Each structure stands twice: as structure tokens, then as C-alpha cells.
Amino acid sequence: MSTTLHLTDAVTLGSTTAGDVLTPNDVVRVARHGAHVELGPAACDSVAATRSAIDALADDTEPHYGISTGFGALASTFISAEQRTALQQGLIRSHAAGSGPEVEREVVRALMLLRLKTLMSGRTGVRLETARAYADMLNAGIVPVVREYGSLGCSGDLAPLAHCALALMGEGTVRDCNGTLMDAADALAAAELAPITLAEKEGLALINGTDGMLGMLLLALNDLEMLLRTADVAAALSVETLLGTDRVFSDDLQLLRPQIGQADSAANLRALLHGSPIVASHRGPDDPSVQDAYSLRCAPQVHGAARDTAAHAASIADRELASAVDNPVVTPDGRVESNGNFHGAPVAYVLDFLAIATADVASMSERRTDRHLDPSRSKGLPAFLAHDAGVDSGLMIAQYTAAGIVSELKRLAAPASVDSIPSSAMQEDHVSMGWAAARKLRRSIDGLTRVLAIEIMTGCRSLDLRAPLRPARATGAVRDLVREHVAGPGPDRIVADEIEAVVGLVRSGRIAEAAEHETGGLR
């Protein structure tokens, strides 16, 4: 059953933000898990009060941008009262110019929720009935078809948001709560909802925000929180089965370099390897593993740096989540002011930062996978972990797959936010490309998920081949989970199915959960 999320008005006189109305977890619950949205009475009162200011300006003979003028490079063109509905409706139709593959359902629901959050801030000037209709469409599970291309990340995620507004008008194409493709008018009618005819200012208010890129950032941070814990699990499996030392993860060594993420990752590795008979089997003054390869020894440094990058990105996301992004904006004292808050640079930068961190964590994981397969470096394991090396190829090509993904992630790590293409007859002459940064980060996270799955699958086979030595309780629990879906060492068989099975375990969080059942919560 869906839970209910209350949007309450937290705006105070003189504030430029919408207040603390949503948490990142709220966005994930609505976007991924179908939680419903309700509009709090205080927020509704604020929306109605602000709309009265717009109605007053609509009657003014002086032009006001977005109310009685054209848009962008046409901002100086006055529009008469009888043409303004056509102006607003035409704005949505013309801006619904997306192209390419459909954007994922969870992304569209996230951007719809975030746009609704700003509509309810009382700073946009929409009518309450329009905001309610937007909430009703979201709650009915109607998801407009949004295309991959169309946003430059400035003046808002214009085309993606325009496709959502188009559905509100009963136009365009949507998917209903069951995922069936249909005309928006039919979907609204089936849900007993009426289309909205837009009034002054509403077209702009529905499309002028960073909601798409912010929604994807929040979803990515949710994924990365789990994947970075999973990366520590994968690294622990590799350290253990490659007969590495855990001494380098000791707390006193981490204190010499007080990086927060590094300390958390090292603490995780200590917990995951605690009590490992395999690690104990070669511990002592004669242990040759004092200088393990960097991909083993420096896992906390890389995984920790990724954590710190994610923490910075989360702080930017929190500020953006507390923002009311529109242009023009209605100030608390009733002024209607143009501004540049729709520029996506803050969000675009951290989306690019995260793509770099994601690529590096995956790169280190792939290097550990490769060490398992090379008999000159694996400390006694058979070549490619094959049953009968020469006759069997073992996991040789699984490493190729990981390497190919990592190479792709390196290309995706090239920043989108350094690019800018002028638009709207040079009125919009610098743009953020934040939507593009978000789209490539989603692909990067999928790639990291797959690379970690291959390392975990490989580490579990190595663990079996170290028998009769026993693993730590946490790594053993992960191996046991994987064995419920993937068989242990043996003659060659189709590897792709096994990779996909472990990818599913990683993506669902079950790998991390299996380890945490033994260690308690990882950091």
C-alpha cells in the first residue's frame, strides 16, 4: 500500500526558498515506490494568496514577463488578455519538443513531484486548481512520455517538464498506472480527472525548473549509498581470497589521514573481514602481504573519496530541494521578479563529480577482478578460476565485460557541464547541460552495479577454491547468498546468466544486506 506524503508550507516572509518540505527519501518513495502526495492546507492558502497577485498584474496595462508578454527572446512582446490562454497553451505545445528514447518512469515521477513542490511553495503564481490537478495526475500513476533529448539544463528542464504539462492539458502521450501507452486525454478520463486550461503565468511555472536533473541526482545518491557499501563488500572478498592483509585498514592508520569517507570504508573492511580464518591463516611476522597491490590496499582511500564526493553532492541536493525555482518568481511581498535561479550549474557540477567517482570505484573493482584470474598474482588460485584450465576458460571473459564497462564509464566521466550551446536567439547564451550530466550518471551507476557484481561473483568462486579454509562470517554470508542463484566452481557454462543474477542481487541491495546481517549496519 502507498504511503502518504504531506507537502506543508514552510515559507516565511522574506524567504527565497520553499522551506523544508521534502526530504531526499520522500522523493525516492514517490518516484520509485508509488507513495501518494497530499497538499497541506497552509501551502494551499499560500498558493491562493500568490495567485491573487498574478490576477492583479494580469489586469495591468503595463507588460509583465510571463503574464502579459511573450517568452525568451520575445519577452518584450505584449500579449492582449484574450490571447493569453493561447499563449500559455502554445508555450507548452511548442516546448514539448523532446526526442529519442523514453525516460524511465521513476525519473518522470521524480521531476513531477519536484515541480509540484515548487508550485506549492507559493512563489510561482499558479492557481490552486492547477497544482491540485498536477498532484492528482501524479497520484493516479499517470506518467507522461518524456524523451531523452530536449533539455539544456537552463531555463529549467524545459522539454521534459513541457511534456508533463502537456499531459495536464489532456494532450500528448502517457503511460497509465499499469504502464500502458495511451493518449493523455484517455488516461485522464479513465482516472476521472479533467484536463486543465492554463491561465496567465502557469505555462512558465510548469516548465521553469531544475526538477529533472535534481530528481536524477537524488535517485543517484540513493543508489550510490548502497553501491558504495557493496563496493566495500566486494573489496573485502578480494582482500580475503587473494590472501591480502587487513592490517592496512586499522583505525590508527586511518587517523593519520582524517578523511571521513576513508575512515568509514576502512571500518567497513575491518568489520567484513573480522574473524576470517583465511586472513588468519597467513597473519604473522612472516606474512608477505604487507605491501598488497593498490587495488586491495587503497580501497578505503578510493571508496572513501567517492563517499565524500557523494556527501558534497547531497549537500547541494538538499539546498536545491529547499529551493523554489521559477522565472519570474513571485516574492513574499507580491513583486514579480525575473531571476536566474533556473540555471542548473550547481546541480550539473555535482552530477559530473559523481560520474568521476563512480568510474574510479568501478575501475578499482575491475582491477581486483583481474587479479583473481591471473595465476601469477592470485597466490595459488587456478588460471581464470577455471575447472580445468585450458579445456575451460573459467571467468576469463567476465573480466572482459567488466573492462569494457569501465572503459565506457571513463568516457562518461567527461563532464557535460563544461559545455554550453547558445539558444533562443542568444538570449539564453549560456546553459548548464545538467540534464545531460544526469542522464550519463544514470548509465554510470548501472555500469558500476555490473562491475561490482562481476567482482563479487569472481570473489565468491575464489572463496570456494580456498577451501578447506573458511571465510569471515560476513563474506561467507555473501557467498551463500550468491550460491542460491549461481553455482560454484565447475566446468564451463553460460556466464551471462550468472552475471545478470548477481547484478540483480547487487541492485536490490541484497548483497549489502547479507553482509550487514553479520556485521551490523555498514557505514
Does 271 lie in the same domain as 202?
no
Distances (CA, A) of 138 to 134, 146, 191: 6, 14, 11
Does 276 lie in the same domain as 174?
no
Does 183 lie in the same domain as 230?
no
Does 159 lie in the same domain as 244?
no
Does 288 lie in the same domain as 160?
no
Are the CB atoms for 232 and 269 separated by under 8 Å? yes
Does 191 lie in the same domain as 282?
no
User: At residue 10, does pLDDT exceed 90?
Assistant: no
Does 289 lie in the same domain as 187?
no
Distances (CA, A) of 17 to 9, 12, 188, 324, 326: 11, 9, 32, 5, 11
Q: How confident is the prediction for the chain on average, in pLDDT?
A: 91
pLDDT, one tens digit per residue, over 365-414 is 999 999 999 999 999 999 999 999 999 999 999 999 999 999 999 999 99
Give the domain range for residue 320. 217-519
Record the pTM: 0.94
| Angle at alpha carbon of residue 18, lines to 13 and 20, rounded to 5° | 110
Does 362 lie in the same domain as 249?
yes
Catalytic (active-site) positions: 65
| Final residue before a domain boundary, out of 209, 244, 272 | 209
Are the CB atoms for 139 and 164 separated by under 8 Å? no
**Helices 260-273 and 299-321 sit at what angle, rounded to 10 degrees?**
130
Top pLDDT among 85 and 129 is at 129
Question: How many domains does the chain contain in total?
Answer: 2
* Mean pLDDT of the 214-231 span: 98
Alpha helices in 169-210, H assignment, sequence order:
184-190, 202-207
Q: Which helix (H) or strand (E) is 464 found in, with range?
A: helix 434-465
Does 238 lie in the same domain as 205?
no
CATH code of the domain containing 168: 1.10.275.10
Report residue 420's pLDDT band, with 50, 70 and 90 as the boundaries: confident
Does 227 lie in the same domain as 192?
no
| Final residue before a domain boundary, out of 163, 192, 209 | 209
User: At residue 19, does pLDDT exceed 50?
Assistant: no
Does 297 lie in the same domain as 203?
no
CATH code of the domain containing 512: 1.20.200.10
Distances (CA, A) of 232 to 266, 296, 509: 8, 11, 13
Shortest CA distance to 79 belongs to which of 66, 89, 92, 91?
66
pLDDT of residue 3: 42
Q: CA-to-CA distance for 208 and 159, rounded, in angstroms?
A: 10
| Final residue before a domain boundary, out of 209, 228, 258 | 209
Find the largest Cα–Cα distance for the chain: 89
Q: How many CB atoms lie within 10 A of CB 4?
A: 10
Does 386 lie in the same domain as 491?
yes
